[in-house]
Structure 1
């Protein structure tokens, strides 16, 4: 390490100059150092600020001995010449440490402390920290909407992905004579009966279901404890023959029965639909010997009990029944399950839920859970026998297995205890559930409540959708409603005050006869019929040659006998217009209905589908009008657009000049109606 010499001369600010004198020891050290350098080679010399000062380097670890200048003579002892460099180094290191711990401000600057200006690094700049701004976040935005295919798959029953998409134009001609059934799987007797009723061919939903329900001969048996049948869910447009699709398999399967048991149960939402379905069963099953009954509450409860069961005094585990087929409403069915002795559903072979979407949406005392529980054996079985204290097997009286004719699935619950045999093994119920609707629900929660067994779905859907492709999944997952092919749909936007006048204009100018006019309530039905009656009277006074139009109301305010009488007159065309509530919008089949008018716009698409489905049935043509008030127009169009049906319905415009021809008659009718309600 280089030995640095002090700069000669006092600092500029010193008051008195001082002279630095080298000691003898210093001179001897420098002399020896020069001699060593001569032998080892000269080291590079650096020039400092003063040219008189030389900077020498030494390979050994030695440091210059600082001696403060003094005016006194040098009386210090001489350094021994044999002093080793290592000892000098230790002393120098100790001095450096002392100087570092206690620096002297007056100490002169060493040569090595003077650094050329070019080599002096610039002083570090002070960093001025500016205030940091808050981090910026992106503006909120809506996420990308999922695709229709993703929406269709959400919560979808896996069995729906395997649904059979049926073309609505599919049909099958029924052969008249011979043993060949022509692919209908119907017996010769049934085919002959259909010919007598004027039914020449099967529609789409019938051609799909009959092979599935009747194709396998082993599936026609009344009891299938070891190979229970699969359940069926069918969705088809109104008027496509859904009723006949389940009537024919039931008649074919039950016609082989020997003992009368309740083997087919059909649940419907209204009494009128119950009466209509019973007429279909009686017409198709004529000569089969099957006994058919209804339970709707139209008759007394005791009267219905006498028709359903043979014995109400004894308690029979297998029950007793006087009917093979029962058609009922859910409320009355629950009453008989809870209150009628020996009324049981353990022998059921078919459970049909027609208009399933409406029935599943209404509780009716939780009817579905009770009915399904009645078709299964109890969770906690009870034996028909007990052991006495002596160890003998004692019969419990009228709970004998031989006299009860218990269904196979229920045998193990009344068997002899601790005796394994074919009777004691558990068996599956033979009940097959059939669900039908024009707007069958896709709600997974409601479908799960049905406890379907390997369900098979049939969907009558127009277009190119087929099983397995994306269009087929969309048709299944998203509710797409299919309308009859020959249905013409139109809507009229008008003000609420002019709506009755627009209705009368349509009836007169378009010659609307054999029509159903739907309103939102029974009260609206009665009021509209009275207003139309006054309108016809005013029009007849001005034009005596005008043919009068007869209109009647049909609502829940009328008794069952009155509704039946009005329907009979409408079918015979003694009544040209039937003003009704949505009571008649589901299932009722009146063949000659050619026009449907929604006086009050439907609040949802399902209701619209069922209303317009009363016409254009079974391949016939029909017209449907909807009167939409101005404040309802936006919602109505949105509803049609969501159902992808807006392009199929046309807007009809009625100008004020056309209405002026009937304004006078309407004002007279309105005045008479006002007077009638003031009385």
Structure 2
């Protein structure tokens, strides 16, 4: 090989690689102009790439002919690389560089990745949409009591001497927490605020959340009787709406007992009697068209369905004179949409504007005088329109008619599980409502935490209530119930099932079991009866009386009487079928441990229901209160022979029926 030719080639290589060096120099300058947000890892990688490239260039500059001869492929690549013109090299490499890292002037700004906002707390979500008055609710300790004094001073009860004496005669010597809070609020000391009608300073509405058995019925019955005792003319001034007929009968009995000697007239409307019979008991005059209505009673206790029947179908049935509108078991009643009963009741509290405007002018003054208690003028018969609506009859000529007036009806809502639905509360059209909450016992809570418990449906329970649960298979559940009755002496008990059919079947099986056991062991059988909506009203009333007199030891029923019914001697409540939600559980167990008495609640939970039941309790922060009792086969063995005989007898009885 010609040495001169070799030198010429080496010189050419050195000259050609200068283009590479210029390219790398420009590449470094472009890198300096790149955004500074590059990661450190990427910078390190690019630096390593530069070092490798420089090493390759040096190797190319120092390549000897012998090396090219040893590695022809490498030589060919090197020659191809160095024979590229400077401009061609830049044109090839620069588009690639631009595609990898755009220059600063044409680059888009860098934005952080989107992130989800923090979710609001459950407590914040629970309070959204609620009346702000609920946040300022008055907290009442369940241990608060107020003795009823024997002297003339009312002792802070605001009750009249006659009422205090009546309560003592009935064995009631002290007021419970909910009563001590409500009586001073509903019976103010100001004599002017005690009037029947307060058109210029209407009273505030009241919402009460308190445990079952805490005395809510007495809390509204006492103020109603005290306020209406001074009435002269009979008008329908108190309306009490309840969910069931049995509860209506119980409240009527309470009012009749406490109002003895006041001449107040009490009526009921439940559908137990014919519609015509109820009309004759409620309305004085059904033939005339009277704007003020016509009433034979001062207090009406009713169910919502029958109430709507009278509003729409009974002439001269009017609610415009109402002073009190009580909705007991409010959560259940507000959940009922039957005939849109609530809006119809609120509309009935006001006389229709059309009827007022069409009234003949000649009778206007007579109606005013009649409403104000004066005598008829020029043989004009007044029809007693409520004072709050007098200004709508005639053209105002006196400042009395020009002064703004409001309806004097005061709404009182009571429930152990007060509704938290803002829409339903809004539908009540509450006036500056005042909330009272009886907090759960055994814990010191702030007002905010107590309100949160109500809103989040963490229900209050009586402190004297003991709660138990037994998990068993579905086939063993009747046997477990029989063991519960005999081993734990469960008598004076209410047993709740899921349906009227389940009630009948369980009672028949228990009767067969008790007969077999009494025949073999000589024990006196336990008397068990069913109580469900399938029974006639008179029979249900008779059974309830026998249970109250303890001639029936166990009453098996559906959820018909799980709300409000007060039977003083009930010491046990058994949920034979698991309640479908926490509200039903609260109202079931609330039939015992009432008015400070002790009580036990038992729930029989089938194995496939255990998870749901535990989650329900945990969701209400109540799981720790319920003690689990475990039973073994050994515990149930003594009752098994009698149970098998009773089960066969039940199968035979049903097969004969079919």
Q: Tell whether 2:513 aligns with 1:512.
A: no
Change (3 A) 1:141 1:556: farther
Structure 2: runs of 5+ lacking an equivalent:
1-85, 102-110, 371-381
**For the residues of structure 2 that align with 1:658 and 1:201, how far apart are their CA atoms?**
44
Shift of 1:302: 1.2
Q: Is the 8 A contact 2:396 2:402 kept in 1?
A: no
Q: Which residue of 2 aligns with 1:184?
A: 157
Normalising by the residue count of structure 2, what TM-score does the alignment of the two structures yield? 0.79
Q: Tell whether 2:221 aligns with 1:221.
A: no
2:544 to 567, 570, 591: 567
Measured against aligned partners, the alpha-carbon deviations of 1:292-329 in whole angstroms (never above 9, x if no partner) come to 11111111111111111111111111111111111011
Q: Is the 8 A contact 2:417 2:454 kept in 1?
A: no
For the residue of structure 1 that corresponds to 2:435, the secondary structure is: strand
Shift of 1:144: 4.7
**For the residues of structure 2 that align with 1:552 and 1:131, how far apart are their CA atoms?**
89
**For the residues of structure 1 that align with 2:362 and 2:228, how far apart are their CA atoms?**
37
**For the residues of structure 2 that align with 1:490 and 1:144, how far apart are their CA atoms?**
39
1:493 to 471, 494, 499: 471
1:284 to 246, 249, 258: 258
**For the residues of structure 2 that align with 1:578 and 1:141, how far apart are their CA atoms?**
59
Q: Is the 8 A contact 2:368 2:385 kept in 1?
A: no
Figure out how many residues of one structure are paired with residues of the other and give that number. Answer: 548
For the residue of structure 2 that corresponds to 1:404, the secondary structure is: coil
1:612 to 570, 589, 614: 589
Q: Which residue of 2 aligns with 1:452?
A: 430
For the residue of structure 1 that corresponds to 2:552, the secondary structure is: coil
Q: Tell whether 2:147 aligns with 1:173.
A: yes
**For the residues of structure 1 that align with 2:593 and 2:300, how far apart are their CA atoms?**
30
Deviates more, 1:456-465 or 1:265-274: 456-465
Q: Which residue of 1 aligns with 2:518?
A: 540
Change (3 A) 1:539 1:130: farther
Q: Is the 8 A contact 2:330 2:413 kept in 1?
A: yes
Measured against aligned partners, the alpha-carbon deviations of 1:408-438 in whole angstroms (never above 9, x if no partner) come to 12212322x4756534765211100000011
For the residue of structure 1 that corresponds to 2:338, the secondary structure is: coil
**For the residues of structure 1 that align with 2:115 and 2:469, how far apart are their CA atoms?**
38
Measured against aligned partners, the alpha-carbon deviations of 1:450-504 in whole angstroms (never above 9, x if no partner) come to 000000000101232233xx42442343222011111110101111111111101
Q: Is the 8 A contact 1:376 1:409 kept in 2?
A: no
1:345 to 316, 319, 337: 319
Shift of 1:667: 1.1
Q: Tell whether 2:104 aligns with 1:126.
A: no
Normalising by the residue count of structure 1, what TM-score does the alignment of the two structures yield? 0.77
Q: Which residue of 2 aligns with 1:196?
A: 169
**For the residues of structure 1 that align with 2:651 and 2:402, how far apart are their CA atoms?**
74
Change (3 A) 1:657 1:250: same
Q: Is the 8 A contact 2:158 2:189 kept in 1?
A: no
Change (3 A) 1:521 1:138: farther
**For the residues of structure 1 that align with 2:610 and 2:290, how far apart are their CA atoms?**
61
Shift of 1:385: 4.8
Q: Is the 8 A contact 1:316 1:398 kept in 2?
A: no
Change (3 A) 1:504 1:455: same
Shift of 1:219: 2.3
Measured against aligned partners, the alpha-carbon deviations of 1:578-624 in whole angstroms (never above 9, x if no partner) come to 00000010000000000000000001000000000000000000111
Q: Is the 8 A contact 2:567 2:591 kept in 1?
A: yes
Q: Tell whether 2:653 aligns with 1:676.
A: yes
**For the residues of structure 2 that align with 1:321 and 1:132, how far apart are their CA atoms?**
92
Q: Is the 8 A contact 1:165 1:465 kept in 2?
A: no
Q: Is the 8 A contact 2:437 2:450 kept in 1?
A: no
Q: Which residue of 1 aligns with 2:275?
A: 301
Q: Of Structure 1 and Structure 2, which has the larger fraction of its residues in helix?
A: 2
Q: Map residues 197-596 of structure 1 onto 2, 5 A cutoff.
A: 197-217=170-190, 218-380=192-354, 382-383=356-357, 385-386=359-360, 394-395=362-363, 402=370, 403-415=382-394, 417=395, 422-423=400-401, 427-462=405-440, 463-467=443-447, 470-544=448-522, 546-596=523-573
**For the residues of structure 2 that align with 1:476 and 1:437, how far apart are their CA atoms?**
11
Change (3 A) 1:204 1:394: closer
Shift of 1:152: 3.4
Q: Is the 8 A contact 2:490 2:572 kept in 1?
A: yes
Shift of 1:442: 1.3
Q: Map residues 28-39 of structure 1 onto 2, 5 A cutoff.
A: none
Shift of 1:254: 0.4
Q: Tell whether 2:603 aligns with 1:626.
A: yes
Change (3 A) 1:132 1:366: farther
Q: Is the 8 A contact 2:239 2:299 kept in 1?
A: yes
RMSD: 2.6
Measured against aligned partners, the alpha-carbon deviations of 1:368-425 in whole angstroms (never above 9, x if no partner) come to 1011111134355633654xxxxxx54499978631111112212322x475653476
Change (3 A) 1:141 1:619: farther
**For the residues of structure 2 that align with 1:385 and 1:156, how far apart are their CA atoms?**
42
Change (3 A) 1:423 1:122: closer
Q: Tell whether 2:577 aligns with 1:600.
A: yes
Deviates more, 1:148-157 or 1:228-237: 148-157
